Structures are given as C-alpha cells and as structure tokens.
Amino acid sequence: MSEDRISLAHGNGGRLMRQLIETHFFAAFDEPALAQGLDATPVPATGGNLMMTVDGFTVQPLEFPGGDLGTLAANGTINDLAVCGARPRWLTLSAILEEGLPVEQLARLVRSFAEAVRGSGATVLAGDTKVVPHGQGGGAYLTVTGLGETVRGGLSFAGIRPGDKVLVSGPVGDHGTAVMLAREDFDLRGDVRSDCASVLGLCEAAWALDGLRFLRDPTRGGLATVANEIAQATGQGIRLSEPCIPLHPATTSVCEMLGFDPYYLACEGRVVAVVGPEDAGPLLEAWRALPEGAQAAEIGQVAGDAPRVVLETEIGGERLLDELEDDPLPRIC
Amino acid sequence: MSEDRISLAHGNGGRLMRQLIETHFFAAFDEPALAQGLDATPVPATGGNLMMTVDGFTVQPLEFPGGDLGTLAANGTINDLAVCGARPRWLTLSAILEEGLPVEQLARLVRSFAEAVRGSGATVLAGDTKVVPHGQGGGAYLTVTGLGETVRGGLSFAGIRPGDKVLVSGPVGDHGTAVMLAREDFDLRGDVRSDCASVLGLCEAAWALDGLRFLRDPTRGGLATVANEIAQATGQGIRLSEPCIPLHPATTSVCEMLGFDPYYLACEGRVVAVVGPEDAGPLLEAWRALPEGAQAAEIGQVAGDAPRVVLETEIGGERLLDELEDDPLPRIC
C-alpha cells in the first residue's frame, strides 16, 4: 500500500488515519483544542457553555436493516455531543448528492434525519445541497455539524486513573455487521440489525455520577479502537474481559463465518464509559434500567502498565487488540 | 430530464434546486429560520449574537488559476457569515476523500484552507475525515460550518424598498470562467483567474452604513441568480444596467466564444449590496478605497413592478434574466 496516496485505511479510525490527521490537519491549524482528540470541542467565547462537533457520513448502502444514512447522520452527531457532556441543540446539514439518486429515496433519508433530530430536542439551523455528476458521489453523502449546550463538564482522557472500570451500554459490532450483510457482494442473510440510535439517554444517566471520567461511542474501528484511543491518550493499559463483552449471537455467527472480529466493527448506538470503581455499580444499574441499556456490562478496567489493550479470553489466555491497520469495511458510517 | 431522480440542475442554485429544498428539506425540518433563505442563521439561545452557516464544496478541478478547493471552502464560509453581518470566529471542517488522492495534494489544499481561515481571524474547532473507494468521490469534497459573531444586525430581504440601489464590488463571472477553462475538456487557455477571496473587508465597509439593507455573495448561479432571489423574496423587480456591470475583458471573450452568459457564472470573491439611495455614493466610495473593491460599481436598482429581473442593454433594449433551469457548470464550487 503506497503511503503517498489516500487509501481506505486512511479513513478507518486506526493508525494511518490518526497519522494523516496529525500530520496534515492539526499541523495546518495549530489549534490546541483539536489535538485533544475529543468528539466535540468547547466554543471559546461562550466559556465552554457551547460545544461543537462535525461528522461526515458515507455509509453504503444508503438504507440497511435498523437504519439509514439519515438516522445515522443525525444520531452520529447527537452522540458525539452527548459523550462530551452536551445536550444537542442546533445542527447544520450539508448534502452532497449524486446525479441519478431517486428523489423519493432522498426524501426518505431526509425524513429519517429530521425525525431523529426532533427526538433529541435539537433543530436544524442551516443547510446546503450540492449535486455531483453520476459516478462521482456514491449516492449521497451527508455532513452534520452540531452545537450543544454543555450540561456535564470535566469529561476527558485526563481524569482516567488506574483501577477505573470500563463499561459498555450494550452488544457491540451490530452496525458494522448489519451494513456488511446489506451489501450485495455478500450472499448471506442474517437477522442482525444496526444498533443505530441516540445515546443521549444513556449519557444523561452517566452524567449524574461524580465518578464518571470519560464517555465515547465506539463507531469506526469499534470497541477495540476506543480502547486503543484511551490507552494512547492516557499512557495506561486497558484490560478487557472477553466473556463479559456483550455480543448478539447472530453477530457472533456472522463474524465467525466471514472472519471479522466484532470488537473492531462499528456500533452506532452504544457508549463506552470509564468510571471510578465506586461508580461502576451505580452506572450499570442506571443503564440497565433503560431499554437501550438492558444488556449493559462492566467489561474491563484501566491497568497501569504499558499503553496497550489486552483481551483476557474465555479460556484464560491473553490477546493483544492492536490499533487498526487495514480498513475492514469502508463506507461503514 | 426526469423529475424523479436527482439531476445536476438540482444543484445549480436555480428553480429545481429551490423546489427540491423547499419540498424535501424545509418541509421535513419545519424550522422557520431555514425558510428565510439567508446565508446564515442566528443561533437562538445566544440572542442572535452568534450566526451559523454551512456549505459543501465539490469544485472540479481541485486546483485552478486563482485558488483551490481549500481557499474556496474557507472563503465561501467566511463570506456567507460576512454577508449576514457576522465576523467569522469558529469553523468545523469535514473532508470526504477519494481513495487514490495524492497525500501531497491534500496537504496543499489543507494549507490553503488554513491560511484563508487565519486571514479571517477564525479558528477551526472540529474536523472529520472519511475515505470513500476510488470512483465514488471526485478527489475530495469539503464541508465547512461556520459560527460567527454578529456585528451588524438587521440585514434581510425585508428591509429592501423600491428605489434602493444595487451595487457589486467587482467584475463578475471570473470564478466560473476560470474553473471552466481549467477543466481538461476545454482546449482553451486564457488569463482568467478565479476571484476566490474573502469579502469580509468589503462587508465591514458596508456594515458601517445605516442605509445598508442586504448583502449577498453571487456564487452558484452568479449575479443573475442573486438578483432573482431578491426579486422573489421581496416581490419587487430588479433592473440592472448592462453597461454598468463590471466584467474583465478576458472573461467576456471566453464567455462569448463558449456561449456562456457571465451574469450566471459564479463569483467567489464579490459581494452584491442593496442600499438606500442616499448610501449608494458612500458605499461606492468606501469599496473603491479597498484594493478588492477598486472596480466596484452601481449596477441597478429595485423597481417596484413585477418580481423579475430586467437587464437594460447597451443599445437601449431589455432582456429578462430568468431563474436558472439547466446547470451550466456542475461542480463549480
């Protein structure tokens, strides 16, 4: 793989993407807030009262079991604000449409988007539409910027300590698996649905706890990538317990059949929390009381050794969960 | 042209695009601020102190005489805030990159973007990168959201009155012409350069005038489209004087040769102002004192008859400048 041209791995959430962004974006902008690597950034003149985030969405196919490009774009942005302690308030939507897209399909995607936005209590303040010639667009790309009001401050990598617990709000890997199955080049049908949903309710439950250190939604690159981001940002190791990580059996089967590792596959409606040990129980209880958190679990802890992610397997072995190199699934979100 | 699939004309700034947005976006969001059709929208909870805008950029080729995708994306967003009376402060940048894009070219585009942003006094607060497979991206698409601080309120279509004067800050159609010439499918070379630039200085000069009603940068669809937008929003006619509209001779020649109408071609560094008659002279003087406004001109007026745009030609005739139907130049911005 040539390193002087953009490859799919530059978009997978892993090492090449991180290096591309650090070398060519952070360097050009020289803005310290960017380099913190959080999902949203405080808007300075508002004293941190407002948080801002942006996300581009290129999922293929545009509609899949459990969601579509519209729900994905709305919830992805809502979730990036929520995990940073902010309630989503105002959004902008930019649509890049490919010539030939059925107008009725566009209408469905926009309605899905609008419904998810309304459900979060946010409103759309500005929009833009561009059309690119047939063959240059992949149907439709949406980019959503979100402005949210900070409710819970102090969430960052900096608060994470050895001994903190790692929790996840539900089964992992469903979105990645569902999208993969929905692509025509796999001749498989399963009953896996994307978990695409707002995590605002789950985050609100977590904001209430003093011992909450950090939240992140495990999208591109999945749970393993979030764990690696925490390890790199804190210099601490992360130990995850394989038997504790919730997985839908259908997702496990498909992944085994196709040779994918569900820990690296995107979720779009789950959240990973790091909390002080005293708050692991209360958070688990609060999450399990919500329908979207019924299968929440404590899955590991911060262990103060080398900054790497170790998976303790069912039979007592250990497996290193490395940073992603190649992209397992382009256009997953 | 089928009306049930997206066509290039849905992206040209003209009638089909307006109808698409009204039918499928405004209807889904039910947000009154959107339907005002301005380039930026006040953020409610800030009492209108902050304004928000978004723009997607898909220009082809990615680099052209006078600018590139990066300068275009930065200035396009800066200009949308400036014409709404706001000083740009915080931006987000979303990049959708096509597999195979040379990394060095990406670095040039990002540097151009960063330089233009710095020149405006704004900073980039958040970013996102996606990579789409080769053949699905057209090189690179950038989407920029801008948050600005309102300096000059009260700019809207609502203040426009019969007898108001229409001014433009410089020659029109250069960006569209330069981009068209830079495409390999034209075997023409001219000395036309894109006018791509910030109009913040021009807008600041205009903000100072009490009689200023409305500002807009004539991008997609050019001067004729801005004039049509004013006519439709106000119900007033617009009369433009052809001999008064500044044009670079090279742009005129190329347009004559290729059969394009420069009044419909995009500018990316010009601004159109509507002012009360008493402030037309002062605005012209203020603009001409700036290097980027040296060729500013008064080009017409608001005439209280039917809501259409009439061009008074050099030889005393009249020509109707209709709303755009087909797209003369896809991927112009």
* C-alpha to C-alpha distance for A219 and A19, rounded to whole angstroms: 19
Last residue of a domain, one of B99, B120, B150: B150
Structure confidence at residue A178 (pLDDT): 94
Q: Please indicate, yes or no, if residue A6 is contained in any of the structural domains.
A: no
* C-alpha to C-alpha distance for B35 and B37, rounded to whole angstroms: 5
Contact flag A52-B123 (C-beta cutoff 8 Å): no
DSSP state of A259: T
CA A263-A264-A270 angle, 5° bins? 65
- Chain A nearest CA to B288, separation (Å): 32
Structure confidence at residue B45 (pLDDT): 75
- Chain A nearest CA to B82, separation (Å): 15
Do B255 and B261 contact (CB within 8 A), yes or no? Answer: yes
Task: Retrieve residue B51's tokens.
Answer: 């304004």
| Closest residue, chain A, to B105 (C-alpha) | A5
CATH number, domain of A183, equals 3.90.650.10
Last residue of a domain, one of B150, B165, B195: B150
Structure confidence at residue A100 (pLDDT): 94
Structure confidence at residue B185 (pLDDT): 61
Query: Using omega within 30 degrees of 0 as the cis cutoff, is the peptide bond preceding A61 cis?
Result: yes
Whose tokens are 């809207």? That residue is B156
Q: How confident is the model at residue B55 (pLDDT cuts 50, 70, 90)?
A: very high
Last residue of a domain, one of A132, A150, A168: A150
Amino acid at B184: E
Residue whose C-alpha is closest to residue A49's, from A147, A181, A167, A168:
A147
HEC string of chain B equals: CCCCECCHHHHCCCHHHHHHHHHHHHHHHCCHHHHCCCCCEECHHHCCCEEEEEEEECCCCCEECCEEHHHHHHHHHHHHHHHCCEEEEEEEEEEEEECCCEHHHHHHHHHHHHHHHHHHCCEEEEEEEEEECCCCCCCEEEEEEEEEEECCCCCCHHHCCCCCEEEECCCCCHHHHHHHHHCCCCCCCCCCCCCCCCCHHHHHHHHCCCCEEEEECCCCCHHHHHHHHHHHHHCCEEEEEHHHCCCCHHHHHHHHHHCCCHHHCCCCCCCEEEECHHHHHHHHHHHHCCHHHCCCEEEEEEECCCCCEEEECCCCCEEECCCCCCCCCCCCC
Q: Please indicate, yes or no, if residue B307 is contained in any of the structural domains.
A: yes
The answer to whether residues A124 and A176 belong to one domain is no
In this structure, the strands spanning A50-57 and A140-150 are: antiparallel
* C-alpha to C-alpha distance for B61 and B132, rounded to whole angstroms: 18
Residues, chain B: 333
- pLDDT tens digit string along B183-220? 866 666 668 999 999 999 999 999 999 999 999 999 98
CA dist A313 → A174, A244, A301, B300 (Å): 21, 10, 15, 76
The answer to whether residues B143 and B211 belong to one domain is no
Structure confidence at residue A327 (pLDDT): 64
- Chain B nearest CA to A280, separation (Å): 31
- Chain A nearest CA to B17, separation (Å): 8
Structure confidence at residue B31 (pLDDT): 79
- Chain B nearest CA to A294, separation (Å): 31
Task: Supply the range of the domain harboring residue A136.
Answer: 36-150
Do A140 and A101 contact (CB within 8 A), yes or no? Answer: yes
Structure confidence at residue A194 (pLDDT): 96
Amino acid at B220: R
| Closest residue, chain B, to A96 (C-alpha) | B56
Q: Is the pLDDT of residue B304 over 90?
A: no
Q: Please indicate, yes or no, if residue A165 is contained in any of the structural domains.
A: yes
Residue whose C-alpha is closest to residue B113's, from B66, B75, B82, B64:
B75
Domain count, chain B: 2
Using an 8 Å CB-CB cutoff, list chain B residues near A137: 136-138
Q: Cβ atoms within 10 A of the Cβ of A2, count?
A: 9
The answer to whether residues A127 and A203 belong to one domain is no
Q: Please indicate, yes or no, if residue B137 is contained in any of the structural domains.
A: yes
Task: Retrieve residue B179's tokens.
Answer: 């981009």
Q: Please indicate, yes or no, if residue B23 is contained in any of the structural domains.
A: no
The answer to whether residues B232 and B290 belong to one domain is yes
* C-alpha to C-alpha distance for B93 and B117, rounded to whole angstroms: 11
Using an 8 Å CB-CB cutoff, list chain B residues near A95: 56
The answer to whether residues A100 and A164 belong to one domain is no
Q: Please indicate, yes or no, if residue A329 is contained in any of the structural domains.
A: no
Residue whose C-alpha is closest to residue A87's, from A129, A45, A112, A117:
A117
Contact flag B125-A149 (C-beta cutoff 8 Å): no
Mutation target to probe the B interface, by most B beta carbons within 10 A, among A8, A117, A132, A324 is A132
Of B94, B113, B136, the CB nearest to A138: B136
* C-alpha to C-alpha distance for B176 and B327, rounded to whole angstroms: 12
Structure confidence at residue A332 (pLDDT): 77
Task: Retrieve residue B183's tokens.
Answer: 């495409």
Q: Please indicate, yes or no, if residue A333 is contained in any of the structural domains.
A: no
Q: Please indicate, yes or no, if residue A123 is contained in any of the structural domains.
A: yes
The answer to whether residues B86 and B137 belong to one domain is yes
* C-alpha to C-alpha distance for A214 and A245, rounded to whole angstroms: 19
The answer to whether residues B140 and B198 belong to one domain is no
Structure confidence at residue B33 (pLDDT): 78
Distance of CA B53 to the CA centre of its chain: 13
The answer to whether residues A212 and A164 belong to one domain is yes
pLDDT by residue, tens only, chain A of 333 residues: 567 999 988 887 778 888 898 888 988 888 787 777 788 888 887 777 899 999 999 999 999 999 999 999 999 999 999 999 999 999 999 999 999 999 999 999 999 999 999 999 999 999 999 999 999 988 999 999 999 999 999 999 999 999 999 999 999 999 999 998 988 666 666 689 999 999 999 999 999 999 999 999 999 899 999 999 999 999 999 999 999 999 999 999 999 988 899 999 999 999 999 999 999 999 999 999 999 999 999 999 999 789 999 999 999 999 999 988 776 667 778
On average, the pLDDT of chain B sits at 92
**ipTM of model:** 0.90
Residues, chain A: 333
Contact flag A123-B29 (C-beta cutoff 8 Å): yes
The answer to whether residues B174 and B232 belong to one domain is yes
Of A57, A92, A137, the CB nearest to B52: A92
Burial class of residue B304, CB neighbours in 10 A (0-12, 13-18, 19+): exposed
The answer to whether residues A210 and A138 belong to one domain is no
* C-alpha to C-alpha distance for B277 and A67, rounded to whole angstroms: 55
| Closest residue, chain B, to A97 (C-alpha) | B6
Whose tokens are 């931006």? That residue is B91
CATH number, domain of B110, equals 3.30.1330.10
C-alpha torsion sign, points B228, B230, B234, B240: negative
The answer to whether residues B165 and B111 belong to one domain is no
Q: Is the pLDDT of residue B1 over 60?
A: no
Burial class of residue B303, CB neighbours in 10 A (0-12, 13-18, 19+): middle
Do B78 and B122 contact (CB within 8 A), yes or no? Answer: yes
The answer to whether residues A126 and A180 belong to one domain is no
